Amino acid sequence: MKSSPVKTIVAVGIGAALFFVLGRFVAIPSPVPNTNISTQYGLLAFMAVMFGPVAGALIGFIGHTLIDFSYGWGIWWSWVIASACFGVIAGLAANRLRIEDGEFGTKGIITFNVFQVIGHVIAWGVIAPVLDILMYKEPANKVFMQGLVGGAANIVTTAIIGTLLCVAYAASRPKKGSLSRED
């Protein structure tokens, strides 16, 4: 979707605020310490599809930074960077989807979910744990377990929440060519 810089900046602000609220107040604790089942990644994927990879990166980066800051345990830059990278990868799906034209059928759902799964696998299976080891000297078995549980939960919540947001948005848009001019 082509959007003006002003719309993108507003979307980043709103998206980061919603990401924060969902991540801070709608997170579900998991059995793995310091790892939640997160609802905000479905929203992030949707916003990234709507406004592109740069907006996705900024929403993930700002939103995750605010979440960590609000908990008072310090900002875990490894996971903030992973959230931003997920936003970029989800945003790359934007050019392959026609959601703005009111089209988000089976092919769109599959495309969206392939991108979000790849994004979560890279973010939580590689980036977050590797940066945890390099930046914070965390034990590999701990951070890869956190990444595995968090990534799997994020895939599921994004598949549900993100797909529903995309379907609802596409349904609200007139299909391209469906409107005719009245004389």
Domain ranges of the chain: 5-25+34-172
For domain 5-25+34-172, the question of CATH label 3.10.20.600 is answered with: no
pLDDT reported for residue 181: 61
For 140-170, what is each residue's pLDDT tens digit? Answer: 999 999 999 999 999 999 999 999 999 999 9
Local confidence band at 35 (pLDDT 50, 70, 90 cut-offs)? confident
Start-end of H helices in the chain: 5-25, 40-51, 53-71, 77-91, 106-122, 128-136, 140-157, 163-172
Question: Percent of the chain scored above 90 by pLDDT?
Answer: 87
Q: What's the whole-model pTM score?
A: 0.93
pLDDT reported for residue 33: 85
CA distance 178 to 172: 13
For 57-104, what is each residue's pLDDT tens digit? Answer: 999 999 999 999 999 989 999 999 999 999 999 999 999 999 999 999
How far CA 91 is from CA of 43, 86, 168, in Å, comes to: 12, 8, 18
Mean pLDDT of the chain: 94
Contact assessment for residue 128 and residue 5, using Cβ atoms and an 8 Å cutoff: no
Strand partners, 36: 29
2 vs 139, more confident: 139
For 105-141, what is each residue's pLDDT tens digit? Answer: 999 999 999 999 999 999 999 999 999 999 999 999 9
Contact assessment for residue 176 and residue 161, using Cβ atoms and an 8 Å cutoff: no
For 48-66, what is each residue's pLDDT tens digit? Answer: 999 999 999 999 999 999 9
